[in-house]
Amino acid sequence: MFVKKSAIANIKVLRNILLTGVLLVLFVSVLGINPGFAQDGTEKVEVEQVWKQFMFFSKGAENPKWMQDRKSICVTDEQKDMYVIDIENTQNAKKILEGKALNYQGSDIGLSEFVFSKDESKLLLFSEMKSIYRHSASFVAYVYDLKEKKMTQVANGKRIKSPALSPDGQSVSYVLDNNLYVQTISEGRTQPLTSDGKWNFIINGHADWVYEEEFTLTNGYEWSPDSKYIAYYRFDESKVPEYTLVEYPDSAYPNLYNYKYPKAGDANSVVDIYVYDIQKRLGQKVDLGTEKDQYIPRIYWTKSGNQLAVIRMNRLQNQADVLLADARTGQAKLLFTEKSDTYISEINDQTLTFLNDGKQFIWQSERDGYNHLYLYDLSGKVIRPLTQGKWEVTEFYGVNDIKQLAYFQSAAQSPLERQIYAVPISGGETIALAAQAGWNDAEFGVGCSYFVNTHSSASLPPTATLNRETGEQVILLKDNADMLERMSRFQLAPKEFFSFKTSEGVELNGYWLKPAKIKKKAKLPVLMFVYGGPGSQLVANKYDGAYYFWFQHFVDRGYMVVCVDNRGTGGRGAAFKKSTYADMGKQEAQDQIEAAKWLATQANVDPARIGIWGWSFGGYLSSLCLLLGNDVFKTAVAVAPVTNWRFYDTIYTERYLKKPQDNPLGYDMNSPISYADRLKGNYLIIHGMSDDNVHPQNSMRMIEELVDKNQTFDVMVYPDQNHGLSAGNARIHVFNKITGYILGNL
């Protein structure tokens, strides 16, 4: 719903290490260093250091731009010169582009990102990036021919979406004004594939708002491997209701921004998939069945250029069908069906992966109660499970077709940790590649021959290493020594983990931060931090970055900071995650209230001074907890809260609550608005007035209900700010506001 990983990769990679021409195998280990937790530091953390100076934002290593030979990477230097470097022999560094060539008709190109054509003879250059929603952006794009040393402007310099090179490197495709185009690079000839695109009516080749937000889908088309076809999405959003955001420029009248946003129970876009034959200039509609009120979360080309795989989900999202469609005729057949008593967990790019042999694919499923990998053949038959056990596969990275290994991240050692493993496609025991305690996250290169592993723990900022596919370390890319030194200056409370059982016998995991010295009879106020949404996880043995240091500001002032993952969160299997189905909010709030009651029984806790805060789903839960737990919580801060799930989007909300027409009590009984009359404590609502995700309507309706019940509360709004409240000076302002409110009211 709210927090998702950016799809845009960084481009400056290994520059300071590899461009020296010497590959230093560094065995510097920071795993034994305890940065400041011995209480050697004396400084205290200030809010401005965290949210204005950004002192504690630890940068990981920038991911390499991998080349097709599987052992080389492309890097840039300060002059924007590009080099291809052999990982195993860095003396072999070849300059492929001089930075001064990044120029079109006398003007320098400000590079945001670049990608190679498959044959690595051309570069697609993304310039002047401008964000649209959470994942989408528009660009001015260029193609540079490395052999001809020629720069071509895409779409005559117009701002476009989703530019992509064809696999054969002869064409570049893009979306402009909701239509899909293909431009030949050598001749500059542009071919429109669609012509009916229109704002707020028809979208071709790009996703609508709700697909982008909830399916993490922006690029709504895919080239076939042989460059003969483009499969693309067509969204008819004409019947989707519009939502209006009000913007306040420095003028006499505000601006109105209208866009299509389907709220729970409302009409979605009607989605069709077309396959366009580039040579014949003909589009063929794929047969997706007669049902129109459904979702198509992903399409994938098989290794055969004539066959397209389509995932079709019913609106309730408890059934996913995998279809195989003939690109030439549009005819589709059902390959297999996945069903759930509750819902199919989120579909993503790694849900379905076709192997290079053209005969098998890997599918992720929670069918045995935990997310695992399954090997299928193209008849839709399961060959074997690749992973098994009462633990989760949390990321699937891909397959090394030479070694015949599949690579994944899992919570096998502990729900609080992540390690990296490989498993033979033919079956067999898993192989640990990055098994150190804490949190490991990998980015694999072409063919999964190398990977960058980023590791952190509760006490250590991220370090990054370049590893072979065997897990063997090649080089330490980022040790974060500068962050460790900075941390050593401060007196930092360690993150201590605990667990407890609720009155229903459910074991919950949590962590707390406590002052270094607590007087024997002292009673400390407690600030609880919550998110708690489906599949999320905050309690983890990983580096929390800015939030961890901001919490130190409260610890320094005698507060205890606590975080508990309630039922519905991730890492513990489908039963724990899906236990909140059709009643979202009820168990989550109960668990947070019980956590507060349990804390009230602990030594040195002041039971009369327990507060809670959160953002988005966390704002929803902090509101609900203050109202339903009005005898437990003294103060709550809710940033960008959902206050009634009727106001949120179809895909996310109905996945967990069904449609409001079919489950009205599930919506209304767990809505903070329904309990405005129960407010007793201090309540601060914060919202950005241009929040395209959780609309300000949520807070306005909550305010209206509180006023109707003659309640006393506090409000802070930020004009022209979106869900993240990060533009301009908003970020430091909002955290100063929250800090002051908590210190003054808890």
- Say if CB 717 and CB 687 are below 8 A apart: yes
Report the alpha-carbon distance of residue 392 to residue 372 in Å, rounded.
Answer: 7
Region of residue 153 (left: phi > 0; alpha: psi -120 to 50; beta: else): beta
Cβ-based neighbours of 312, under 8 Å, separated by 6 or more:
288, 289, 294, 295, 296, 320, 321, 322, 323
Amino acid identity at 643: T
Give the three-class secondary structure for 497.
strand
**Nearest Cα to 613, choosing from 670, 723, 546, 532?**
532
Of the candidates 172, 168, 176, the one whose C-alpha atom is nearest the C-alpha of residue 205 is 176
Catalytic residues: 616, 691, 723
Q: How far, in Å, CA of 624 to CA of 372, rounded? A: 34
Q: Quick one: which of 459, 462, 684 has its CA closest to 549?
A: 459
369 vs 351: CA distance, rounded Å = 16
Q: Which two three-digit tokens encode residue 155?
A: 């779409």
Helix (H) or strand (E) holding 701: helix 697-708
Question: How far apart are the C-alpha atoms of 23 and 92, rounded to whole Å?
Answer: 11
CA 643 to the chain's CA centroid: 23
Find, among 623, 611, 631, the residue nearest to 524 by Cα. Answer: 611
Cβ-proximal residues to 505 (8 Å cutoff; 6+ apart), any chain: none
CA angle 132, 134, 137 (to 5 degrees): 35
- Long-range CB pairs of 661-665 (<8 Å, 24+ gap) are 661/265, 663/582
Secondary structure letter of residue 356 according to DSSP: T
Produce one character per residue of 104-118: b if its CB has 16 or more CB atoms within 10 Å, e if not: beeeebebbbbbbbb
210 Cβ partners below 8 Å, 6+ apart? 261, 262, 268, 269, 649, 650, 651
First-residue to last-residue Cα distance in the chain: 30
**DSSP class of 345:** P
The Cα 616–Cα 533 span in angstroms is 9
**Token pair of 459 as six digits:** 């006490």
DSSP letter string, 76-115: E-TT--EEEEETTEEEEEEEEE-GGG-EETTEE--EEEEE
The CA distance from 124 to 112, in Å, is 11
Residue owning tokens 């229109």: 198
Residues, the chain, total?
Answer: 746
3-class secondary structure, 723 = coil
Amino acid sitting at position 502: T
The pair of three-digit structure tokens given for residue 462, joined into one six-digit string: 């991220």
Contact 2, 533 (CB under 8 A): yes
Round to whole Å and give the CA distance between 733 and 722.
14
Q: What does 421-442 look like in DSSP terms, one character per residue? A: EEEETT----EEEE--SSEEEE
Residue 382 phi, psi (nearest 5): -75, 125
Structure-token pair, residue 243: 């939502």
